[in-house]
């Protein structure tokens, strides 16, 4: 057919994540950092944003160390409703300030569909954590995002389950 360079049958159940349909490995550009290339990409930061002072202290240390992606959770999914669950939207504002102050990319987790748009406005790389690997509404929303997604493998999830989540 005119305009068709090649046809590759994908016999794998993984239509999007299969390596059989592509000629080279996937490299994702996040603020000029090639994740998946032969160069090591380091993402560093605190587990969660607790305050502006805490985040800026860590962000300064991370940036001075040459790391160009800062990861910190604004929303912290927890099993117990009595433990720290993050400071939410306020943390997103602090992360956005840190990006400007330290010229650093932001990685943070979207924990549900309701906060995804807010996270998408701030994050350069959106994390879907292990507890949400099978949150299908969240995965569908992530699939429509213009941002790259960091999909963490769920506890006890098989490789097949993880790849289907990526699909």
> d(Cα 17, Cα 164) in Å, to the nearest integer?
8
Q: Where are the domains of the chain?
A: 25-126
Burial label, 55 (beta-carbon count in 10 A; 0-12, 13-18, 19+): buried
pLDDT in tens, the chain (167 residues): 899 988 877 777 877 777 776 777 889 999 999 999 999 999 999 999 999 999 999 999 999 999 999 999 999 887 788 888 889 999 999 999 999 999 999 999 999 999 999 999 999 999 999 999 999 999 999 999 999 999 999 989 999 999 999 99
pLDDT computed for residue 21 by the predictor: 65
- Given a contact cutoff of 8 angstroms between Cβ atoms, the answer to whether 109 and 120 are in contact is no
Cα end-to-end distance, the chain, whole Å: 28
CA 148 to centroid of chain Cα atoms:
6
Supply the CATH classification number for the domain 25-126.
3.20.20.70
Distance from C-alpha of 100 to C-alpha of 112, rounded to nearest angstrom: 26
Token reading at 68: 């160009």
Judge whether 49 and 86 are in contact, CB under 8 Å: yes
For the four alpha carbons of 62, 48, 31 and 155, in that order, the dihedral sign comes to: positive
> What pLDDT is recorded for position 13?
83
């Amino acid at each position: 057919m005119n305009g068709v360079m090649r046809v590759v049958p994908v016999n794998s159940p993984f239509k999007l994540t299969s390596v059989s349909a592509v000629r080279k490995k996937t490299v994702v550009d996040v603020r000029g950092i090639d994740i998946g290339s032969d160069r090591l990409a380091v993402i560093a930061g605190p587990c969660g944003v607790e305050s502006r002072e805490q985040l800026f202290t860590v962000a300064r240390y991370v940036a001075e160390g040459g790391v160009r992606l800062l990861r910190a959770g604004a929303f912290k999914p927890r099993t117990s409703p009595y433990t720290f669950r993050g400071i939410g939207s306020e943390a997103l504002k602090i992360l956005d300030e840190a990006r400007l102050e330290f010229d650093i990319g932001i990685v943070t987790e979207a924990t549900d569909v309701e906060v995804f748009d807010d996270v998408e406005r701030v994050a350069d790389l959106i994390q879907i954590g292990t507890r949400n690997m099978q949150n299908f509404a969240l995965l569908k929303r992530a699939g429509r995002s213009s941002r790259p997604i960091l999909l963490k493998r769920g506890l006890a999830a098989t490789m097949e389950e993880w790849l289907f989540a990526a699909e």
